[in-house]
Amino acid sequence: MKPGLKVGLIGGGAMGSTHAEAYRVIENAELVAIADLIPERAQAIASKTGATIRSANEIIGDPSIDVIDVCVPTFLHRDFVVKAAEAGKHVFCEKPMARSLKEAEEMKAACDKAGVKLAIGHVVRFFPEYISAYHKVKNDQIGDVAVVRTTRGGFALPTAWNDWYANYEWSGGLVLDMIIHDFDYLRWLLGPVERVFAKSTLGRDYNRLEYALVTLKFKSGAIAHVEGSWVNSGGFHTRFEMAGTKGLIDYDSRQTSPIKLTVNRRDGTPGVPVPTGAWEESPYTTELRNFINVLDGKEGIVVDGNEGYESLRIALAALESIETGKAVLL
Ligand SMILES: NC(=O)c1ccc[n+]([C@@H]2O[C@H](COP(=O)([O-])OP(=O)(O)OC[C@H]3O[C@@H](n4cnc5c(N)ncnc54)[C@H](O)[C@@H]3O)[C@@H](O)[C@H]2O)c1
């Protein structure tokens, strides 16, 4: 048994198995229990990590467990986070924080009342390329940022438990599920957002191939175009371009791959595409290590419930703009 905090994982799908891998290399934490409704998924994680297979309620009720890691679909985040907080557990919850602001408020209130820490999985803040650009901007290497363009997407929405990504009421579609990563990163970089205007193919017959373009106007005066796509034939990739008064920063995740093959990437691989790169450590591991170190008193929290809530507000404003055709003031 490893020394450190004991973690119980709820949800062992694409993200849960990524988190389970992370705990194997985080020195001061141990994954001790896994719950998933699909026995083979729980079994696969248990075999690799030594975690015991139990129900979510058993894990939350176990007094020897310190941290609950919530990796179930978005519409279930609220219930598990509130239950975990009421049982006195610290909680790491995947992004987006919740499906609605009301649910997110209840999650924050439950954690505050119980005096437990809550972190939200906005992992882009842990990607080396995004951190590097953040520091270049903060060190004034490109001057005042005027315009930012970001792109994130793959081909066709992910396959998952009960096809939950395809259910708008459960997932919030491309904007809430995926490009919230960019909203969160941009808010971290550029400060509060003032106005949101968005267009999307949401609701059309070819919904599984959703495309969205969201314009954010920041209080600083900067403008961002955030593009999300489940129509990228070339598979999952991300890009950004930041233009400032003194220069430009440009990044394209595809440029790090020396050999390029472009095919429609619904090649039978199940689950959501999890980005890979030539990193020393997966950003998902760095993110969870940060939370464990927060609980150990060694580091400050990066994305807490308030931060997760603010990024959720932007994504929900974008959905409102898509539905009404009007700009939404925050
Ligand atoms: N940070 C990221 O980059 C990133 C990437 C992908 C997904 N996510 C987020 O992670 C969350 C999970 O997404 P996913 O792609 O792993 O979904 P998934 O469908 O692959 O996995 C979800 C798992 O939860 C299990 N589950 C459902 N209800 C349960 C319950 N009551 N008790 C126990 N297990 C239950 C399902 O059986 C399934 O295995 C979502 O909120 C998603 O938005 C984040």
Q: What is the pLDDT of residues 17-54, one digit of tens each?
A: 999 999 999 999 999 999 999 999 999 999 999 999 99
d(CA 76, CA 98): 8
Q: 35: closest CA among 3, 14, 60?
A: 60
From the list 57, 92, 60, 94, the residue with the least C-alpha distance to 74 is 94
DSSP 120-184: EE-GGGG-HHHHHHHHHHHTTSS-SEEEEEEEEE-BSPPP-GGGGGG-HHHH-HHHHHTTHHHHH
Nearest residue (by CA) to ligand 1, atom 39, is 13
Return the ligand 1 atom nearest residue 41 CA. Answer: 39
pTM of the model: 0.92
10 C-alpha vs ligand 1 centroid, how far in Å? 9
pLDDT greater than 80 at residue 261: no
Q: Strand pairing partners for 244? A: 145
Rounded mean pLDDT of the chain?
A: 92
Pocket of ligand 1, candidates 9, 17, 21, 36: which has the most ligand atoms within 8 Å of its Cβ, to mutate? 36
What's the alpha-carbon Rg for the chain, to the nearest Å?
19
Q: Cα(164) to centroid of ligand 1, in Å?
A: 9
Identify whether the C-beta of residue 245 lies closer than 8 Å to the C-beta of residue 223: no
pLDDT at 262 over 90: no
- The dihedrals phi and psi of 323, each to the nearest 5 degrees, come to -70, -40
- Our CA angle for 254, 258, 259, nearest 5°, is 90
Amino acid at 66: D
| CA 130 – CA 235 distance, rounded (Å) | 20
Q: Output 267 or 137, whichever has higher pLDDT.
A: 137
C-alpha 174/C-alpha 152 separation (Å) is 10
CA gap 192, 217 in Å, rounded = 9
Q: Domains of the chain (ranges plus CATH)?
A: 5-122+284-303 (3.40.50.720), 125-277+311-329 (3.30.360.10)
Q: How far is the CA of 136 from the centre of ligand 1 (A)?
A: 34
Bridge pairing between strands 248-252 and 237-244: antiparallel
pLDDT at 277: 67
pLDDT > 70: what percent of the chain?
93
Q: Exposure of 1 by Cβ count < 10 A (0-12 exposed, 13-18 middle, 19+ buried)?
A: exposed
Lining residues, ligand 1, CB within 6 Å? 10-16, 35-38, 41, 56, 71-74, 76, 94-95, 121, 123, 160-161, 164, 177, 271-272
